[in-house]
Amino acid sequence: IARARSGVQTRDLGRAVERRVRRGGFRVIRSLYGHGVGRAAHEAPNVPNFDDPRCTDPLHEGLVLTVEPIVSAGSGHAIEDGEWVIRTADGARSAHHEETIVVTNGRPLVLTAA
């Protein structure tokens, strides 16, 4: 989905992520987002892990972004427990995965691919 196509927005990435996660019987932590990457590690646009109607930034060729869901076997609610320490509110097992992607007019270029 990380192809530069007319009308595709960051929320569309989030919709695809959440759909995949829910098929596996899990939930995404909705308070945490992926982001753009450029001169700084964390830049606009926000890249949700669910269909967030506020995230309407279009995907365009050359955009570098992260898709990084935290997937939970529990409620999907998170608590910040210090700087960069996050745990689920219900203590459920969770996992974080991050991919850095360059949006192209063809196949997306996954920079973190093994």
Separation between Cα atoms, residue 23 and residue 3, nearest integer Å? 23
Per-residue pLDDT tens over the stretch 42-89: 999 999 999 999 999 999 999 999 999 999 999 888 888 878 788 898
Residue with tokens 């982001």: 35
Half-sphere CA count of 40, side-chain side, radius 13 A: 5
Average pLDDT over residues 13-21: 96
Average pLDDT over residues 22-30: 95
Average pLDDT over residues 1-7: 60
pLDDT at 80: 87
pTM comes to 0.85
